[in-house]
Structure 1
Amino acid sequence: MDNPFAGQSLVAMPRLDDPWFSRAVVCMAIHDTGGSFGIVVNNPVADVTEADVMRSIGIFPKEDRVFPPVFCGGPVREDGLFILHGPPFDWKSCLSITSSIALSFSRDIVEAIAEGKGPQQYRMMLGCSGWSPGQLENEICENVWLIHPVSADTLLSLPAERCWDRVLAEMGIRPEFLSADGGNA
């Protein structure tokens, strides 16, 4: 297996009522024999901004700008800080997902964002999402997730509350026509 879901978005089906993944859009970074790893992009953390997180790790951002909320990337490593971003891709710890999107988890990108010198498009996440080997495939077969290619503009620039509907629209799907029940023919 060579990473077939990397660069894909997982889109939660309506019947997925897990609070971590309800109406979730997950940017998949890794999928191989060891399991799967991705980041939920549309779940903002209430009352926590990027500046709050930066200060908690000893980085003091310029105070002359408003910082957006931090997002909850998933239930795994909830204290881990991840930056999903567009170019540039020259940070110390940078995992390329597609030609237009990468995931970084090093201090240098956070410092650059604090100084206003980071990527134009990005989302700061606490935590990530992970699946054991075969788990994601089983969930897809059980109609828990739809799969769609990653769009940097949708995942990084669109307001979080519109992501799920937008990705479905990109797929030609109207949410009101999705059934909460799944099946296989």
Structure 2
Amino acid sequence: MSSITQSLKNHFLIAMPRLADPSFAKTLTLICEHSNDGALGIIINRPTELKLHEVFAQIGIEEPDICSRSPETVFSGGPIAKERGFVLHSGQSRWESSLRINNGLQLTSSRDILFALANDEGPEDAMIALGYAGWGKGQLEQEMSDNSWLTCTADNDIIFDTPFHHRLDAAASLIGVNLQLMSDQVGHA
């Protein structure tokens, strides 16, 4: 396989209505890394029943001083490594293990950011996710050619300021698409 023509890092993957895979149906995924070896993303519109204080308790923070800007909702970031936590956040990298997605967006997987959030010292904007979405070499490119996804440049306002149940439609509207008007049936002209 030749090299990828365009990295989708810092792009949203907008699930097409006909995407039947239950792990990705009706999802909006932020691509955090994309290279010839594959891609890693975080689904940003699937909340879990788990709350942030429960995550804190699981890592030994008994009485967190949760700041008002810390999110209470924990999201399902994808079907891989569901026990592994990720924090998608604003600001610069000052954590043990962070990946820069764009100038104002980082993905951190180290526990130090959770302790900071619990002590009111975390980033201004944050979204906590368990698990991630991953694609092997050439897999995402194949799914793109199969028309499983639409893409657009990521928008931090959609991630942090848009209610989760509106994020998919908000991202689609960035490229002038109304998903409600698209058929979920595959057909031929």
Moved more, 53-62 or 174-183: 174-183
1:113 aligns with 2:139: no
1:136 aligns with 2:103: no
Change (3 A) 1:150 1:64: closer
* TM-score, normalised by the number of residues in structure 2: 0.90
Cα shift readout 1:116-160 (whole Å, capped 9, x = no counterpart)? 211111100000000111110111111110011011110122111
- Aligned equivalents of 2:188 and 2:110: distance in 1? 43
Question: Residue in 1 aligned with 2:167?
Answer: 163
Change (3 A) 1:106 1:184: farther
- Aligned equivalents of 1:9 and 1:58: distance in 2? 34
Q: Is the 8 A contact 1:143 1:182 kept in 2?
A: no
1:36 aligns with 2:12: no
Which of the numbers 4, 8, 13 marks the counterpart of 2:7? Answer: 4
Q: Is the 8 A contact 2:19 2:148 kept in 1?
A: yes
Cα shift readout 1:86-124 (whole Å, capped 9, x = no counterpart)? 113211111000112110011111111111211111100
Q: Is the 8 A contact 2:96 2:112 kept in 1?
A: yes
Identity of aligned residues (%): 33
Q: Is the 8 A contact 2:52 2:73 kept in 1?
A: yes
Change (3 A) 1:143 1:121: same
Matched to 1:75, the amino acid is P
* TM-score, normalised by the number of residues in structure 1: 0.91
Gaps of 5+ in 2: none
Q: Is the 8 A contact 1:9 1:28 kept in 2?
A: yes
Moved more, 139-148 or 82-91: 82-91
Change (3 A) 1:176 1:118: same
Q: Is the 8 A contact 2:47 2:73 kept in 1?
A: yes
Q: Which contiguous aligned blocks of 4+ residues in structure 1 show a shift greater than 4 angstroms?
A: 63-67, 182-185
The DSSP-based 3-state class of the residue aligned with 1:109 is: helix
Matched to 2:141, the amino acid is E
Change (3 A) 1:166 1:56: same
Cα shift readout 1:147-176 (whole Å, capped 9, x = no counterpart)? 110111101221111100111111111122
Q: Is the 8 A contact 1:51 1:67 kept in 2?
A: no
Question: Residue in 1 aligned with 2:54?
Answer: 52
